[in-house]
Amino acid sequence: MERRAFFKLVGAGAVVAAGGGLAACSSGAVPSPLAPAASEEEGPRVFENPDVSFSSDVDVLVVGSGIAGLSAAMAPLEAGRSVMIAEKLELLGGESYSSTGVMHVSGSALQKQAGIETTAEQAWDTRRQEFADAGITDLDFAKRLFVTAPEWVDHLVDEYGAQFENPGDHVKAGASDRILLPKRGLGDMESIMTPLRDGLSSKGAAFVTGLRASAFVVDASGAVCGMRLRDAKTDAAIDVRAHAVVMATGGFASSQPLVHANVPAQERIGCYTTASMGEGQLLCAHLGGQLGDMGKAAPLTSDLPEAAAWGLFGPVLIVDALGRRFAREDDLNAAADACVADDRGYWWTLFGKKLSSGAQARSIAQVTTKNAKRLAGPFDDVEALAGGLGIAPEALKAVFDGYGEAVDAGKDDAFGRTAFLQEIEPPYYALKQFPVRYKTRGGVRTDADGRLLNAAGSAIANVYACGSVAAGSVGGLATNGAFGLIVGRAVAKALDEGDAGK
């Protein structure tokens, strides 16, 4: 199904009717320090623009429709709350929809059913080291996200009918038992996000697209009571009243000014994403929220992201323009990071029939068809492959010989590769790739429930953040989905407590 068709179904249900008279906005925490002084005569307002006219009234407004935002909508809807999900793009799904679909999860029911008994707690030590190596410092919250991820997967399957590939299939072939994929493998986020979208819609979610967040609306006490959205085409203002606002707008990798200001070492590197503009971070900062760790560099990936994941599911080799192997192939980021660090420019992913006819054949076919000018092959032997790539035959033969020795030994001493340390059989192919940035570290500081924190470390009333917009995010689909689940539950609980206190 084309992505546009995926979202046409929600168009008719995107309009939300105005909800009559509006009660006073309530505050459940410390108001923004940037809010105006309280006034009995002053009604809700937008910073720097006092003309507020609510056209919609909901319990929860989720800004952003990626996996974190959609996951944050689950618990409030299941509790009978009214939820609007606003997306600035014309289509729902955010950057999540076009992601690789690789999810690092342990302990889900799907994995247990496949005979994989490793729990999240048992897998944590390994994952903890991976997070630490990646520069993650809040490992306690990282653990909470990782341990919640299998629960998130189970809920998607049981409550929304999300479809995943049988993990036993790729584990039997040699892949990690800590990875889940969508039903049709790499790149198939439709199998997860379509059922989730439909399930949320059936529970009453209202979806609006083409509307970007412009400003928080605050009441006379300074508490947030909604948000101003603007039409991406006409710039017309639409004010939405909400008891809780969840920011799930993603990172800032697509914003050249923010990358320049925070991670200047990456500003000259191309960017795969187009919508991660950092507006959520800026809006929260203007409200008085604190930002953290924005200067930490995030890992890079291939400008053909699915190809960067092929080494997790089959035997491949990575070589530079001179035919030198320079990174482990079973790591999504290793090639791109090393390519930039050593100014290599680009690299080739070499593969043979085991990969092209294996479990991820769909991904290989789609990526190579769409990028035929980047593909070289087929070649019957290494000498022909070298000639096709303009590489000295002796250099490439030395790489294959060294790799063959690692296969025979069952150990990759050069780069530490562990997955699919197997022979690459002809016919040989090569796919050319370039390094790009695609995500960022750091963002809005939150408490353990995702509530926005001010400079004093107190929660700002009625505002939450989850996913890559938040400093606590560790990146990745499953942990961002788990982040959304945690925040959604916190929002539902806070609304219930607010009702009980009235």
| Predicted local distance difference test score (pLDDT) of residue 500 | 87
CA angle 495, 81, 219 (to 5 degrees): 55
CATH of domain 1-13+43-298+439-502: 3.50.50.60
Distance, CA of 307 to CA of 387 (rounded, Å): 22
Q: What is the largest CA-CA distance in the chain?
A: 82
Place of tokens 């991904």: 363
pLDDT tens sequence for the chain (502 residues): 444 433 221 222 222 222 232 233 333 344 443 343 444 445 665 554 648 999 999 999 999 999 999 999 999 999 999 999 999 999 999 999 999 999 999 999 999 999 999 999 999 999 999 999 888 989 999 999 999 999 999 999 999 999 999 999 988 888 999 999 999 999 999 999 999 999 999 999 999 999 999 999 999 999 999 999 999 999 999 999 999 999 999 999 999 999 999 999 999 999 999 999 999 999 999 999 999 999 999 999 999 999 999 999 999 999 999 999 999 999 999 999 999 999 999 999 999 999 999 989 999 999 999 999 999 999 999 999 999 999 999 999 999 999 999 999 999 999 999 999 999 999 999 999 999 999 999 999 999 999 999 999 999 999 999 999 999 999 899 999 999 999 999 999 999 999 988 7
pLDDT at site 135: 86
Q: Could you give the C-alpha distances from 45 to 54, 129, 179, 288, 425, in angstroms and in order? A: 10, 47, 47, 16, 66
Give pTM, 2 decimals: 0.90
pLDDT tens digit sequence for 257-286 = 999 999 999 999 999 999 999 999 999 999
Q: Is 135 buried (19+), middle (13-18) or exposed (0-12) by CB count in 10 A? A: middle
Q: At what angle do helices 190-202 and 139-160 cross, to 10 degrees?
A: 70
Instruction: Find tokens 């970007």 and name the residue.
Output: 212
Q: At what angle do helices 382-389 and 393-409 cross, to 10 degrees?
A: 130
Strand residue runs (E) in 325-475: 347-351, 375-379, 428-433, 435-437, 443-444, 451-453, 459-465
pLDDT at residue 45 in the model: 58
Question: How confident is the model at residue 41, as a pLDDT?
Answer: 47
pLDDT given at position 30: 42
Give CATH for domain 304-437.
3.90.700.10
* Residue ranges per structural domain of the chain: 1-13+43-298+439-502, 304-437
Cα 402 from chain centroid (whole Å):
36
* Residue 475: per-residue pLDDT: 85
> How does pLDDT run across 9-52, given as a tens digit for each residue?
122 222 222 223 223 333 334 444 334 344 444 566 555 464 89
HSE (CB half, 13 Å, CA atoms) of 90?
5
